[in-house]
Amino acid sequence: MEQEQMSIMQKEIFEEPAVIKKLTETYITSDGKINIDLPDRISNIVIVASGSSYNCAAIACPLVMEYADIPCDCEYSSEFVLQKKHFVTQDSLYIFISQSGETSDTLNAIKAIKKEGVKTLCITNTKDSTMWNLCDFKILSDAGEEKSIASTKALCAQIFCSILVILKILSQKEKDVDISCQINTMRRLSAYLERIIMDSDKIKNAAQTVAQYENISILGNKNYYPVAKEGALKMKETCYLNVMAYPFGEFMHGHVAVLNQTSIVIAIIDEENASFAQRNLEKIRKNYNPKIVCITSVQEFKAGDVNIYIKTKRKTKAIFGALLTLQLMACTMAKILNKNPDSPRGLTKVVKD
């Protein structure tokens, strides 16, 4: 595709490998250390955000519990400020995520929890923003200016920084722990995303199919459920379609009835949920026979009418691969449907210079 034909959203998606490479060089030292500041002791984490940044929080939360082995929860900023009590200890860390650093609900949440003397950390794309100045610890996600209303590269950067926080906690918690494997995975992430972009014909073909439907269900388990939510958000923002995301198993408890209307299912599959997903997709096909698109890191998984293989054995890479695939799909669908993905009707973007 010629450069002048690209939407701003597509250009920003294509910048993701460079953004990740820059963050890798900034925050991972040559000897494999994580160059960010955190409290020495962390007993639990709460991550607070809105919109796409909340989906970053929801992706990171189970990873914190799985890899760092400490309790973690995530909350919408708007709900956080309405909640009268929050779980706080002297070693709690509250993390706030915002691209602009000026998200009003998130700023109100920071101000509310700081009254309780809690340690705070922000992940933001805007240095010297209000959020940056309010928080005790700070990480610049440094994705560069993002002009498209639908966040893509900024979200990718936020997730990367969130994983760095997890690895830093792990290294602080256990001094002799070996995180070299995880570090190598992060170092290879930029090249991995570049390969997906360079070989995106199957994604474009899938977008041609998905764009024919007004009712779209995206399914994912654990970390991939918020990835599914982010994919649904991108399609809503750019294409104005009725797209819903569900946890795979929960979808089978009543929600599956939406497939009684003409629908398409997009399923995110990895090795952990492949057998579970296979069984449920077989039931879905038998009872409703919708069109099925699978985004999978399992090469032999062929349960979809269209199967998009995002080659990797690493969960963290697969999360980014599935996210990038859904972003490209949404952007392509918008073009097919003659929508402007850069400036959706009725939506605005908070950006601080």
Residue 349 lies in a domain: no
Model pTM score: 0.94
Same domain, 111 and 207: no
Which band of pLDDT confidence, cut at 50, 70 and 90, is reported for residue 349? Answer: low
Same domain, 102 and 51: yes
Show Cβ contacts of residue 90 under 8 Å, excluding neighbours closer than 6 positions: 43
Q: Which class for 182: exposed (0-12), middle (13-18), buried (19 or more C-beta within 10 A)?
A: buried
Same domain, 211 and 159: no
For residue 137, the one-letter residue type is F
**Is pLDDT larger for residue 353 or for residue 157?**
157
Residue 353 lies in a domain: no
Same domain, 329 and 226: yes
CATH code at 228? 3.40.50.10490
Written as six digits, the tokens of 319 are 């999360």
Same domain, 31 and 150: yes
Q: Which of 177, 196, 215 is where one domain is finished?
A: 196
* Domains in the chain, number: 2
Residue 341 lies in a domain: no
Same domain, 280 and 331: yes
Same domain, 149 and 235: no
Residue 122 lies in a domain: yes
In DSSP terms, 266 is beta-bridged to 218, 293
Same domain, 27 and 153: yes
Looking at residue 66, the DSSP 8-state letter turns out to be I
pLDDT digits (tens, 9 = 90+) for 20-54: 999 999 999 999 999 999 999 999 999 999 999 99
DSSP 3-state assignment of 343?
A: coil
Same domain, 260 and 279: yes
Does the pLDDT of residue 2 top 50, yes or no? no
Looking at residue 64, the DSSP 8-state letter turns out to be I
Contact 337, 239 (CB under 8 A): yes
Percent over 70 (pLDDT), the chain: 96
The residue range of the domain holding 213 is 199-336
Contact 118, 103 (CB under 8 A): no
Same domain, 127 and 204: no
pLDDT digits (tens, 9 = 90+) for 123-133: 999 999 999 99
